[in-house]
Structure 1
Amino acid sequence: MDPVRLEEKLLQYAEAGQLGPVRNLLQARINQEISLDINWTGNVRSAFGWTALHLASHFGHKDVVEELLKAGADMNLQNGSGDTALHEAALAGRKEAVLLLLRYDACATVINSKSQVPRDLTTDDEITTMLEAAERREERRLEEKLLEAARDGDSTVLSQLLSRRRPPDIHCRDLMGNTPLHCAASRRQKLCVFKLLRSGASPYLRNKNDQSVFDLASSDEIRLLLEGTTVAFSVSRFEGPLWKKSNILGWRSHWIVLQDGELSWYRNQLNHIKRGCSLLNRSSCFLDIGLNPLTFKIARIMLLLQVYFILPVFTFQVAETCQQKLETQVSIFHSMCEHSKSDSCSSHHFFMLSCFFHFSIRTSLPAPMFSRNDVCIWSILKKCIGMELSKITMPVVFNEPLSFLQRLTEYMEHTYLIHQANTSSNSIERMKCIASFAVSAVASQWERTGKPFNPLLGETFEVVRDDLGFRWMSEQVSHHPPVSAFHAEGVNSDFVFHGSIYPKLKFWGKSVEAEPKGIITLELPKHNEAYTWTNPTCCVHNIIVGQLWIEQYGNVEVINHKTGERCILTFKSCGLFGKELHKVEGYILDKSKKKVCAIYGKWTECLYTVDSATFDSHKKADKKSVEEKKSNKQVSVDEEPEEMPLPEAETVQVIPGSELVWKISPRPANSAQFYAFTTFAMQLNEMDESMEQVLPRTDCRLRPDIRAMENGDIDKASAEKKRLEEKQRGARKNRSKSSDEWKTRWFQQGPNPHNGAQDWLYSGGYWDRNYAQAPDIY
């Protein structure tokens, strides 16, 4: 058959959504039975240059889109109008196609012939949210490339990035607050410094250590370049009067300045001097405003002059920033109005708080962690074998500067999985996302060997993240046993996530085991579904001698109480040689307990789904190869894995035909210095002065021992921890002498509405901001 006819048929099948014929053609192409260009544009819609992927995406044929993507179709190929497949899916409001394209890393910032990105073409709020998130991710990826090119001196990549139609922010920053110009200047990348300056990079911005580019310049040549002097040859500055003729006014005198290859025109020399005031970026102005009325008047005039000359330089930048912030808040307000069922007070406070708590999110802690090498933990724990760890008083150096309530909040780091589940119309697809969310909840525990502070009775914590689409509050509802209850909800009331955790800790000589008892529940009102599960067991090894390492093991069963579908996941223990370390695998079963698909990966890296038959055959082949290797080796089974050196973590072996469901966000470069925190974790205890006026006095951010440890004052943290524990014991003793009983403020104990298990349920009222009855626990 003529190859062109095959490709035309592919376009026709893709437009009609005929999965079988499309799959047959692609399979024949893989088997090299036919020659087929899957990115071909033929007679069908030839004027527009549409490919098969364009057509399938436009008409919302999700399965066809997925087959084409698996076959390697170019998802960023533009048609005659400059539209990609993502443009077409967004324009037609095909949510599932948009989500699928984004999963395969389709670029959300491609501009068509009308200067529109995919987000500009859709009117669907959920698609807009997904595309905005993808745009932010793409922008940050380009910014990281720009920073890396500046550090490495790769002028070719730097030029390519800066010459894009939508170049990355030239003043983007790394974790230390350094701009690309900081990076290039500190590493003597002269050509990169020159190109950045020519592209408008400012050398006057400062990093988190209050250093400008001039402070980091590592050579005199770089400093001269920053000052505007060319290294290879010296160019003089010329200025003076010059006569210029116009047709109407005739000859007129101008003051001309020629410097650095730029010719500037001024009406007279005075205007040039005034213009110079706005260029004094590195100057300092000292005003002596005393009691003398004349001195005050002169100082006021000086201040007004300074504002007059400098303000125009920044007006457009400030206006643009304010406009972006205002548009964000207006979009939040409109979204709340559209989804609100009543003019509730809590919705009002939620909106006000999200606007009120808008501040720059930090990417590091105020002080690095302390070394634990000088403290002998064995002297403390040798008398505590078999005891509950929650009853053992540990030195504060073994803590991390977070309360357990804040640690629980890290469940929400990958909230986008819940939003993806909400957009899917297929219950199995939703189960994939929810199961991945359950696994991602423990991902932040990797290498987190510090113990969170035990919450005090009545302690609370709240987070409002309109950028991630949720708000969260939690309370310590019991001290013995320690029980923490939490309740989170979507910005648009699109989900409810709640539960209670009783971390039962045990010390077993060489390891500490944490069994997080309690039910976790996720409700999706849009689909009238509820999911429940429990977390796996966490174990910290080598706490006496050797390098600390963490593993998760046990079974996790995620149940959809509406459809009867469930996902049974197995967190594998390390094994003899660490081969199974961090691995997670399981199956999604329908209500008749038939395997629908398999899910596998590592809780420290990523998760994939694949057909269950393919997964089983792959496991059998893998098991056979392992047995063959074992037959050639002598293995001692008496040796304990904890005493054996662990292998380096290997990436997940991807089975052909697999679909990526979740991938962990990379940790910041300075994570090891700050308790192995993720970027999300570093933000949890951040607080500014404005927040203190709104938060209840029981909030974790106000705990003096955690704040002291975060600031690097270990002695104060230890003293405050001891004081708080004594105060809590004294309060409990006083309650035992009287008839007063402790009453929880925001949660009530009762049966879980979906499985009947004992649980702590949110009683409401927290977001009304009435904290008059909040106890004084600090």
Structure 2
Amino acid sequence: MNSEEEFYDAETGETLLSEFTLYKSYLVQMCTRKTLPAEMISRHNFSVWSILKKCIGMELSKIAMPVVFNEPLSFLQRISEYMEHTNLIHKACSLSDSIDRMQVVAAFAVSAVASQWERTGKPFNPLLGETYELTREDEGYRLISEQVSHHPPISAFHAQSLKQEFEFHGSIYPKLKFWGKSVEAEPKGIMTLELLKHKEVYTWTNPMCCVHNIILGKLWIEQYGTVEIVNHRTGDKCVLNFKPCGMFGKELHKVEGHIQDKSKKKRRVIYGKWTECMYSMDPKVYEAYKKSDKKTGGDSKKLKPVSEYSLFSEESDEMPEVQETVTVIPGSALLWRILPRPADSAQMYNFTSFAMTLNELEPGMERLLAPTDCRLRPDIRAMENGDMDSSSTEKERLEEKQRASRRERSVDEEEWSTSWFQLGTNPHTGAEDWLYTGGYFDRNYTDCPSIY
């Protein structure tokens, strides 16, 4: 069957050739929404302390949180935000030199986490079997993701170029821990990017993310840790250091690193901020600049110390001063710059323009999407529309439906069966991974579970 020509009704299994035109129209018109139907509800009158005070040091995936602390997206939709800067993958595909490709892939890896800046709302936990598809003909790709496990929560995704230029996939095991005043998110799982024309495979893991002042004060986010990107064909490697805030807050949002070839010779230096932009330059020029900068004293501006973090202090972790402009070193080449956010982003969960479109449901799409798609979740839809009471009621109903299904499977000694991904071994890393089995875009959803 040609997946570009035939579709199936999710309920009847009937072929819908007549709806191909509708689907193509949807692809052309999609991602036009500039705002959400309703502004976010203020969280000032809600206290999370009564829920979290017994959870210090615990993993939070099993803790039920009020919907007011959510944002109206599923975690599967949040994952799809990795694709916001797909133009960087297309750029990497077009380059002939492997080092040039690596530095653009590094910029893509940084850009993939940039949307988290000021996004302090928690995405909805996906239900077991939940899916999300995103097709962007204008950007030349399509993506499918599925919640393949509930305990522990595991989300798998697979994106592919419409012109067979690349594949990008991974499975994510998010670990959330509460440390008294902050929540730390460890996005376990390996990202794999395949540039098919060059027969290259790149792998990396994402940095740690921490949301400060969960209990008191202004919420702020930092990302930190070492990200190592490996080109498995050439042996080239990029090491990126996402810097923690530090005592004076001087390092907040900064990313610095280098690219080395298989002989471990440094070929390029990478620097910038994950909230703003990334640059590349020659290592010798970079070192000379750093030496000169030290002699002249560098930035003489006095910075106010950031109070040491204390888990149980009654004071908040003060957000350090941030100068969002990166100092551009002469001879640098711009790799990536973040897109400006919509004017009303602060009232819309700090969404990017890309995020604004992810839950959009055009007329007629219901007949084309899998019945498990996030866009059809009533609790998320209600929250997006500003109906928090309905959102909370629906969230509780869906969670109870999921628990009842789990009890039924236990009685029948029946194992859960995934629809589009299968547990296997990543051929490039040898690590356990959830791999796409294909077939989703054939549009035959008759065997999809009823989860809503």
One-letter amino acid of the counterpart of residue 490, structure 1: S
Deviation, 1:644, is: 3.1
Alpha-carbon distance between aligned partners in 1 of 2:220 and 2:307, rounded to the nearest angstrom: 21
Query: 2:2 pairs with 326, 345, 351, which one?
Result: 345
Deviation, 1:358, is: 3.3
Alpha-carbon distance between aligned partners in 1 of 2:299 and 2:342, rounded to the nearest angstrom: 41
Distance 1:478 1:628, change over 3 A: closer
Aligned position for 2:17: none
Aligned position for 2:44: 373
Alpha-carbon distance between aligned partners in 2 of 1:559 and 1:578, rounded to the nearest angstrom: 30
Contact 1:357 1:691 survives alignment (8 Å):
no
Contact 1:349 1:767 survives alignment (8 Å):
no
State yes or no: 1:541 paired with 2:198. Answer: no
Q: Give 1:600-615 correspondences, 5 Å limit.
A: 600-615=271-286
Deviation, 1:389, is: 1.3
Q: Give 1:558-637 correspondences, 5 Å limit.
A: 558-623=229-294
Q: Secondary structure at the match of 1:743?
A: coil
- Whose strand fraction is larger, Structure 1's or Structure 2's? 2
Q: Secondary structure at the match of 1:430?
A: helix
Deviation, 1:345, is: 1.6
Contact 1:578 1:647 survives alignment (8 Å):
yes
Alpha-carbon distance between aligned partners in 2 of 1:381 and 1:400, rounded to the nearest angstrom: 19
Aligned position for 1:688: 362
State yes or no: 1:728 paired with 2:441. Answer: no
Q: Give 1:244-259 correspondences, 5 Å limit.
A: none
Aligned position for 1:496: 167
Q: What does the per-residue CA deviation read over 1:416-471, in whole Å, with 9 as the maximum and x for residues that have no partner?
A: 00000111111111111111000000000000000000000000000110001110
Alpha-carbon distance between aligned partners in 1 of 2:346 and 2:297, rounded to the nearest angstrom: 35
Q: Secondary structure at the match of 2:245?
A: coil
Deviation, 1:614, is: 1.8
Deviation, 1:355, is: 3.9
Alpha-carbon distance between aligned partners in 2 of 1:645 and 1:694, rounded to the nearest angstrom: 45
Deviation, 1:628, is: 9.9
Alpha-carbon distance between aligned partners in 1 of 2:234 and 2:101, rounded to the nearest angstrom: 11
Q: Give 1:69-88 correspondences, 5 Å limit.
A: none
Query: 1:433 pairs with 104, 121, 124, which one?
Result: 104
Contact 2:88 2:108 survives alignment (8 Å):
yes
Contact 2:244 2:252 survives alignment (8 Å):
yes
Q: Which has the higher contact order (CA 8 A, sep 6+)?
A: 2
Larger Rg: 1
Aligned position for 2:14: none
Aligned position for 2:123: 452
One-letter amino acid of the counterpart of residue 358, structure 1: V
Deviation, 1:578, is: 1.1
Aligned position for 1:395: 66
Q: What does the per-residue CA deviation read over 1:578-636, in whole Å, with 9 as the maximum and x for residues that have no partner?
A: 11010001000000111001000000000000111222233344456669969x99979
Q: Secondary structure at the match of 1:392?
A: coil
State yes or no: 1:759 paired with 2:416. Answer: no
Distance 1:637 1:728, change over 3 A: closer
- Whose helix fraction is larger, Structure 1's or Structure 2's? 1
Q: Secondary structure at the match of 1:400?
A: strand
Q: Give 1:39-58 correspondences, 5 Å limit.
A: none
Aligned position for 1:359: 29
One-letter amino acid of the counterpart of residue 771, structure 1: Y
Question: TM-score w.r.t. structure 2 length?
Answer: 0.92
Alpha-carbon distance between aligned partners in 1 of 2:217 and 2:303, rounded to the nearest angstrom: 27
Contact 1:505 1:514 survives alignment (8 Å):
yes
Distance 1:526 1:507, change over 3 A: same
Query: 2:413 pairs with 711, 714, 739, which one?
Result: 739
Alpha-carbon distance between aligned partners in 1 of 2:6 and 2:168, rounded to the nearest angstrom: 20
Which structure 2 residue ranges, 5 or more long, are not aligned? 8-19
Contact 2:207 2:224 survives alignment (8 Å):
yes
Contact 2:231 2:237 survives alignment (8 Å):
yes
Alpha-carbon distance between aligned partners in 1 of 2:422 and 2:303, rounded to the nearest angstrom: 58
Alpha-carbon distance between aligned partners in 2 of 1:590 and 1:598, rounded to the nearest angstrom: 12
Aligned position for 1:698: 372
Q: Secondary structure at the match of 1:555?
A: strand
Distance 1:645 1:760, change over 3 A: closer
Contact 1:750 1:759 survives alignment (8 Å):
yes
Query: 1:474 pairs with 145, 166, 175, which one?
Result: 145
Alpha-carbon distance between aligned partners in 2 of 1:694 and 1:634, rounded to the nearest angstrom: 55
Question: TM-score w.r.t. structure 1 length?
Answer: 0.54
Query: 1:554 pairs with 219, 225, 246, which one?
Result: 225
State yes or no: 1:710 paired with 2:356. Answer: no
Q: Give 1:153-164 correspondences, 5 Å limit.
A: none
Alpha-carbon distance between aligned partners in 1 of 2:335 and 2:396, rounded to the nearest angstrom: 45
Q: What does the per-residue CA deviation read over 1:492-526, in whole Å, with 9 as the maximum and x for residues that have no partner?
A: 11110110001111000010000000011010110
Q: Give 1:250-329 correspondences, 5 Å limit.
A: none
Distance 1:358 1:732, change over 3 A: same
Q: What does the per-residue CA deviation read over 1:137-164, in whole Å, with 9 as the maximum and x for residues that have no partner?
A: xxxxxxxxxxxxxxxxxxxxxxxxxxxx
Contact 1:577 1:644 survives alignment (8 Å):
no
Aligned position for 1:719: 393
Q: Secondary structure at the match of 1:718?
A: helix
Aligned position for 1:248: none
Distance 1:647 1:748, change over 3 A: same
Alpha-carbon distance between aligned partners in 1 of 2:352 and 2:305, rounded to the nearest angstrom: 38
One-letter amino acid of the counterpart of residue 392, structure 2: S
Superposed CA RMSD in Å reads 2.1
Residue identity (%)? 65
Distance 1:612 1:354, change over 3 A: farther
Alpha-carbon distance between aligned partners in 2 of 1:435 and 1:508, rounded to the nearest angstrom: 31
Q: What does the per-residue CA deviation read over 1:206-236, in whole Å, with 9 as the maximum and x for residues that have no partner?
A: xxxxxxxxxxxxxxxxxxxxxxxxxxxxxxx
